[in-house]
A and B are shown apart, each in its own frame.
Chain A
Amino acid sequence: MNIRRLSGLILLVLIFLGGAAGGYLYFMKIFSNEKPAEEAVETLTGREDIFSLRIYYPAGDRLRIEERRLSRRTVQIAIAEAAVEEYLKGPSSVAVSSIPRDVRLLGLYKDADRILYVDLSDEFRRNFQGDALTEFLILRGLYESLVSNIQDVQDVKVLIEGKEIETLGGHLYLLYPLKNMVPHE
């Protein structure tokens, strides 16, 4: 093999490597931008098998558990999302529910202290109608629905439109995480 042929070959290999590296970086950037969409797809469809969520609803002067069967989620935050969404739908067996209507889940995240922040739309506060016990059970039900379905959550804190508000219905604090605000009766 003469030197000219060898140099041509090395040049080709280098061009190929350069192209491969450039291509890798280009596509890596594109895919990293699309990552949230992938997660969202997983949140919506997940795997095909089924899992069940225990949702706690106010019923009279206590909480009642309803089991909801959904397609499998594997990511903890997606399970939390599903638990809140199912909770906000209200109990299936009761025509009139004390859960405020038209509430949307705006965000969900966990901090370093394992406190799960649940960001809800203003309808949660605006459409609340009830007395002190109703408020207690609504918040306790939300707390139980989350901590009983999700691992590694220390406490739950509710935000309204991304902000802390003092109270949901004028009886209990919403400024602090729920565990100590709505303890077991």
Chain B
Amino acid sequence: MKKIIFIFLSISVLMAVSLSAQLKKEVLLKFSKQEGHMRIVFEAEGTLINNAKVTISSPQIKIEFPETFNLTGQKDLSFELVPSEKLLVINLKEKGEIKFFRLSSPARLVFDIQKKEIQKKKQTEKKIEKQAEKQTEKTVEKQPVPILSMVFVIDAGHGGYDFGIISGDVSEKDISLSLAKDLNTVLSKKGKKVFLTRKVDQYISLADRINLVNQKSPDVFISLHFSISENFILYSPKFEEQDSNEIVDFYSLSSRQKKYIEKSKALSDSIERAIKDKFKANVIRREIPLPILNSVGAPSVLIEFPSPRFLAYDQQMRARLINLIINGITLYGRSSL
């Protein structure tokens, strides 16, 4: 009888050991890094991920899984990993802002880490934006500026690796820059203050363009682009009724344009009249919530000129187009007096 109990016990122990060894859950580690941003992802079974307790105190992250686990995946990490039983400790090399997401399909824990310097840069940008907003509000209170003292911001669309529309040797980024420079020359000669969002062939983000416009608080903002059709297209800002909700605020979609929407429409009307006078062409008006219009605190219009497939952008044509814009601005100035 003793023999039987002994055999039974030893087999039970063997089974328990093999069971506990086999049931360790797999946790797959993925890691990526770029320009001050780092993403760490742990993929595992839903129950393991959903019940994991995460404690973040930069530069350390602690994950307590409900069961023991086996960590697999990427090596050569730029942080230290200390796994023990159910606990996993991540020691980052430097402090930063840590965002944590618990995602499904597949179940995973995602940590986005941003270096402090980049965080500071963003905070500075936000401060500048707020200052610009205050300045804009002051300008509005002061009543419209007479036409002779107008300040302009001209935005040449695209640039750098963003070519825009390409037709043969002609690209949207080059023609829009050329038009912006010509417009700058003509307006400056007329005594206007002009700022360009870019003066050379370089990529400027939408956010940077918007920041510049809001810093300068211009009386007129014009963004120059191409359409894919033979028509001139004028875009005016558009707001949805629900635009003032939390979601949009969360996405930082400023609606500074709201105060200027009527002026922006008047500006588009004037430019439309000027186009029809000069070109007898079809002008299409569109309202789309483009960030470059919705987020700027100034009377604004985005002009799309006909595609280079339909219009030769030689010097003569460019001069005609500049003339057209000047006429449009003059009409707008008169109407806003």
Interface residues of A (CB under 8 A from B): 3, 6-7, 10-11, 14-15, 17-18, 21-22, 25, 29, 77, 109-112, 129-134, 136, 162-163, 166-167, 169-173, 175-177, 180-181, 183, 185
Contacts and interface: CB of A to CB of B under 8 A. Distances in A.
A112 B103 contact: yes
A110 B103 CA distance: 7
Closest 4 CB pairs of A and B: A111-B103, A176-B251, A25-B22, A7-B4
Nearest to B250: A176
A172 B105 CA distance: 28
Contacts of B4: 6-7, 10-11
Contacts of A7: 1, 3-4, 7
Interface stretch (B260-268, B287-295, B310-318): B287-295
Given A111-B103, A129-B166, A21 B1 contact: no
B226 A180 contact: no
A10 B8 contact: yes
Contacts of B11: 14-15, 18
Contacts, number: 107
5 contacts: A7-B7, A131-B228, A134-B228, A177-B251, A185-B287
Contacts of B226: 131
Nearest to A115: B103
Given A11-B7, A180-B248, A110 B291 contact: no
Interface stretch (B13-21, B183-191, B214-222, B271-279): B13-21
Contact of A173 (B102, B157, B206, B229): B206
Contacts of B101: 111-112
Give the interface centre of B102, B248, B251, B302 by most chain A CB atoms within 10 Å. Answer: B251
Contact of B165 (A109, A130, A162): A130
A131 B304 contact: yes
B233 A77 contact: no
A171 B164 CA distance: 10
A131 B235 CA distance: 11
Contacts of A175: 251
Contacts of B3: 7
B247 interface: yes
Nearest to B240: A183
Give the interface centre of B101, B103, B302 by most chain A CB atoms within 10 Å. Answer: B103
Interface in B18-36: 18-19, 22, 32, 34
Given A25-B22, A111-B103, A183-B240, A170 B289 contact: no
Contacts of A180: 240, 243, 247-248, 251, 253
